[in-house]
């Protein structure tokens, strides 16, 4: 894996703001379809077309 790919991969990790640690229980959700989406790019995430939800807070 080259340096650019590693940098992008790190940028896409979801970090808990309070603890500053990566939180694997958080997922990226597509607003339009309401489905989990692992294929979107960082720019898509940054554009505000998705949100992050906790796996525990469904309901």
The predicted structure's pLDDT at residue 26: 56
- Residue 19's pLDDT is 66
What are the average pLDDT values for consecutive 10-residue runs of the chain, which has 59 residues? 51 60 58 56 50 48
Q: What is the pLDDT of residue 41?
A: 46
Predicted confidence at residue 57, as pLDDT, reads: 43
Q: What is the pLDDT of residue 58?
A: 43
DSSP letter string, the chain: --HHHHHHHHHTS-B-TTT-SB-TTEEEEETTTTEE-SS--HHHHHTTSEEEEEGGG--
- Asked if residues 14 and 28 have their Cβ atoms less than 8 Å apart, the reply is yes
Question: Quick check: 28 and 40 in contact, CB under 8 A?
Answer: yes
């Amino acid at each position: 894996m080259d340096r650019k790919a590693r940098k992008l991969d790190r940028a896409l990790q979801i970090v808990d703001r309070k603890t500053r640690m990566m939180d694997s229980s958080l997922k990226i959700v597509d607003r339009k379809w309401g489905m989990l989406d692992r294929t979107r790019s960082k720019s898509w995430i940054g554009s505000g077309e998705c949100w992050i939800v906790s796996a525990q807070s469904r309901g």
